Structure 1
Amino acid sequence: MYTIGEFAAYGRVSARMLRHYDAIGLLTPARVDAITGYRRYESSQLSDLTRIVDLRGFGCSLDDAAEVLSSGDRDAATRAILARRREDLAVSIAADTARLALIDARLSRLEGARTMNRITYTSLPAVTVYAASGIAPGGGPDNVSPVVDRILPPLLHSLQESGVDFREPGIFWYEPVEGSDDLRVRVSWIAAGDPVEHPAWEVVTLPEVVHAAVFDYRGDMRGIGDAWQEFMSGLAEAGVTMTGAGREVYLESEPLPQSHWLTQLQQPILRLPSKH
């Protein structure tokens, strides 16, 4: 039998870790001296310890290790645990890769022209659109994107099937729902010619905007929230007062890959900044 120090050395763990495994019932000593409290381990327990160490090295939890050790078929249990861990890692890597791309994009913009230099000011003519809407439980891509994915395809299908005359670009805008954290999401295409009423859409006229700030964003939709943040920060720095709902105008989109899309962010403002 091995002392706790010997067993720890062979298993490449600390004696403190073995005491922890004992305390939680994961790997208990084969014998504990009733007088001294010294722990002793058998050679056969080394395979249990190495399996625990392996699983921990793959980022598996102690609960995962306990599940394997208590299984009648440890190899099958290990395969199942590792397959599950692999799926978790794949999801995590994808999320981190997306965040890395956003960070790179932000660094690139920070190293280039200042945001205020990328904001332009203009007026926006009134425009009539065919729109569909849905409710998101808040702002940000995580809340808004699922709503867009739900309402956009049926609207486009209905417009195409009806034969109504409509044209690009697509225009999206967002309105807070009074008394809640919800956001009404509206997606639309421009009505060409006299607008036609239909149960599948709303005919909406977006009013003329005398003063609007404009910010162009090129990239996929994962970065649209970051682009809005940069836009809003630039407007705050310029000291302008915003009024009304902001718009996203998809100047260049499908069939281009999203990384090449050009989206114009438009925000109505009360008046032009003094230094404009």
Structure 2
Amino acid sequence: MFTIGDFARLGRVSVRMLRHYDSIGLLRPASVDPHSGYRFYRADQLRRLNRVIALKELGLTLEQVRAIVDDAVDVAELRGMLRLRRSQLAEQLAADTARLAAVEARLRMIESEGRMTTQDVVLKEIAPARVAELSAVAASYQGEDIGPVIQPLYPELFRRLSAAGVNPTGPAIAWYEPADAGGDAVVVHAGVLVDAEPAAAPDVTVRDLPALRSAATIIHHGAMDDVEPSMQALARWIEDNGYRTDGFAREVYLDYCADTPEKGVTELQLAVYRD
């Protein structure tokens, strides 16, 4: 038999862990010296230890681990536990992947700060436009909340327009407005220019997007995930020239590249005014 120290090294765990497993009845020593209190383990106990470690690394609780290694759960229950854990890990991976993408986008934003100047901003009037649109609500105006909401809207919008025999006459346009006073939620509008009457597509809203008497505009090149430097240039221009804005930009997709978003060209339009 092996001392607790030797057994810990063989199992590549700590002595402290083995003592804890003993205290909760998860892995008892094969024998304990009645005089010294020293714990001794057999080689065949490594099999149980390895199963315990493997199940623990899956994220199962020690109570769940004990039930499994003691054969207190049947195959169906074990399968259900492992499927649930697989689902949890998949959700965690998706969340971590989304956070990683957001961090990378912020890094790109920081690295590109200062490349766009306020000289790229043009102040102009935006004419009214007839658009067909679908809308949905996003949790906030942050890119990670907007993207998953707006992206499915456009394929569905074009599908419905095609079914109604209505053809777009210009680029797609997105715009935003608060969903409720004082909250973070945002109504996301996905639209496209059309020359059609309001009743032309029954399951699509056809409306006139109002004119903007004065708008600060800038051409953004690249994916919308990397739009922050362009928004920063707009913000600096607005502040430098004594204007105010509500911060919600219209996005006119002059060249939309679904498969290669980094090649996209978008005009950002911010309505501005002076007090």
TM-score range, shorter chain: 0.7 to 0.9
The 5 A counterparts of 1:105-120 are 105-110=108-113, 113-114=115-116, 116=118, 118-120=120-122
* C-alpha distance in 1 between matches for 2:219 and 2:69: 57
| Letter aligned with residue 156 of structure 2 | P
Distance 1:22 1:242, change over 3 A: farther
| Letter aligned with residue 178 of structure 1 | D
| Letter aligned with residue 249 of structure 1 | V
Partner of 2:268: 265
Partner of 2:44: 44
The 5 A counterparts of 1:163-202 are 163-179=165-181, 180-192=183-195, 195-198=197-200, 199-202=202-205
Partner of 2:128: 126
Deviates more, 1:31-40 or 1:201-210: 31-40
Q: TM-score, normalised by structure 1?
A: 0.73
The CA RMSD measured in Å over matched residues stands at: 3.9
* C-alpha distance in 2 between matches for 1:14 and 1:49: 12
| Letter aligned with residue 138 of structure 1 | S
* C-alpha distance in 2 between matches for 1:178 and 1:236: 26
Distance 1:165 1:49, change over 3 A: closer
Query: Secondary structure of the residue that 2:253 maps to in structure 1?
Result: strand
* C-alpha distance in 1 between matches for 2:37 and 2:235: 63
Query: What is the number of residues matched between the two proteins?
Result: 262
Partner of 2:28: 28
The 5 A counterparts of 1:84-233 are 84=86, 91=94, 94-95=97-98, 98-99=101-102, 101-110=104-113, 113-114=115-116, 116=118, 118-179=120-181, 180-192=183-195, 195-198=197-200, 199-223=202-226, 226=228, 230=232
Structure 2: stretches of 5+ with no match in the other structure: none
Superposed displacement of residue 170, structure 1: 0.5
Q: TM-score, normalised by structure 2?
A: 0.73
* Matched-pair identity in %: 30
Superposed displacement of residue 16, structure 1: 1.5
Superposed displacement of residue 253, structure 1: 1.0
Query: Secondary structure of the residue that 1:43 maps to in structure 2?
Result: coil
* C-alpha distance in 2 between matches for 1:12 and 1:5: 10
Contact kept, 8 Å, 2:218 with 2:267, in 1: the verdict is yes
* C-alpha distance in 2 between matches for 1:27 and 1:230: 59
The 5 A counterparts of 1:249-264 are 249-254=252-257, 257-264=260-267
